[in-house]
Amino acid sequence: MRGIKTFFLLSTLAITASCGAFRSLDTSTEVDKSDTIVLAGEGREAHDDKTTIWEAFGPRKSEQRVQVNRYLWAASLDVLDFLPVQSVDPFTGVIITGYGTPPGGGRAYRATIHIKDPALEARALNVALQSRGGAVSSATARAVEDAILSRARQLRMADKKI
């Protein structure tokens, strides 16, 4: 009987000690700001999420946080509404449009917009413009970026009722 107790005690000790051996590093950071869009996505598998005995009985962390400024996102679609949207990826913050002609203009453009930060700042927005003839001047791309940033600030002020 004493051998069974010793075996059970040693087995329990070995299982408890090995619970932390398979712990994975979680380098994700969560930003909970009112200016970000949060999308729920599929999480990791249950065996990947539960690494210790205490986490096995806790709630699952299956929500994936996406950090895209909602005002920049809406302003980009609003300012460039004359361009047909080809691809939208809110998980990476990329909007890709097809060729379109601006109202009152004669030259067709296409754009790729990348929103890479949840802050409403100029560094969070990258706009790449292209015409059928090739690259567009940096002044034109800068003017489109400024228009998007101005519209995003207008949307934020209207939302906050400042």
Q: CA–CA separation, 156 vs 35, rounded Å? A: 8
Domain span at residue 149 reads 70-160
Query: What is the C-alpha separation between 161 and 109, in angstroms, rounded?
Result: 34
What CATH number did the domain enclosing 114 receive? 3.30.530
What is the domain count for the chain? 1
Give the tokens for residue 134: 């090739």
Res 15: pLDDT: 72
CA distance 18 to 59: 21
**Is residue 153 domain-resident?**
yes
Tens-level pLDDT at each residue, the chain (162 residues): 777 777 777 677 667 666 655 444 444 434 445 566 655 454 444 445 556 766 666 666 655 566 788 999 999 999 999 999 999 998 889 999 999 999 888 899 999 999 988 888 889 999 999 999 988 999 999 999 999 999 999 999 998 876
Q: Which long-range contacts (CB under 8 A, 24 or more apart) does 97-105 make?
A: 99/132
Beta-bridge mates of residue 115 = 125
- Residue 112's pLDDT is 94
Q: Is residue 65 part of a domain?
A: no
pLDDT digits (tens, 9 = 90+) for 96-143: 999 999 988 889 999 999 998 888 888 999 999 999 998 899 999 999
Give this prediction's pTM: 0.61
- How many Cβ atoms are within 10 Å of 72's Cβ, its own excluded? 29
Q: Does residue 38 form part of some domain?
A: no
Residue position matching structure tokens 């005995």: 53
Is residue 80 situated within a structural domain? yes
Residue 21 lies in a domain: no
What was the pLDDT predicted at 46? 42
